[in-house]
Amino acid sequence: MLLPWGTRREIDWFTKDMGRIFPREWERFCSFLPEAEREGDLCAAYARLLADSDPAVYQQAALEWCRWEDTHVSLMPGWEPSLRYCDPQFSLIFSRLVTHYWSRGCFLADGELMAGMPLLADIPAVLIHGRWDISGPMDVALNLHRAWPKSDLWILEGAGHGGMGFSEAMTAALDRFRTPF
């Protein structure tokens, strides 16, 4: 999964607001947290559990975080649960990395990344986004594209947060920038 552009709104969308789309799954995601932390910064709460010294605590926290990760991509056509989350080492590293950055706002002030877009103004880019990606809503990609004058936004109609067509689209995008020797 790619990180959002670092705003609190985008992190809250993923950790809280998507509970409106998946209410039962979100309740399960929150139920692992201490009750007093279920209304606050869920990333920080999970980060604390993932850093616990008790393997039973941090392994279950990693499983719950990754279960939620897998839920929000489940709307795309052809979705199947990701086998990578079955690997305890992968799920622990992945969940610790995401919660570390997100609980700290990706180490950016809200809007800081977009404010730096003029630095990229003359650099061409291809942004690839799946139509079914609700965890990274289309408006985020569209706003980035609008702020980046030399970018193209490719929307993959049959894809979600990764999945069908991404490898081919990335290859085609890279081919556009290939210079002959």
Helices 23-31, 55-72: inter-axial angle, 10-degree rounding: 160
What local confidence, expressed as pLDDT, does residue 5 receive? 59
What local confidence, expressed as pLDDT, does residue 4 receive? 44
Dist CA 84 CA 152 (whole Å): 31
Question: Which DSSP string corresponds to 55-78?
Answer: HHHHHHHHHHHHHHHHHHTTTSTT
Q: Which residue in this structure is represented by tokens 């799946």? A: 130
Six-digit token string for 64: 């719950």
**Mean pLDDT in each 10-residue stretch from start to end of the chain (181 residues)?**
63 92 95 94 96 97 95 82 93 96 85 78 93 88 90 92 87 88 61
What local confidence, expressed as pLDDT, does residue 108 receive? 80
**pTM > 0.95: yes or no:** no
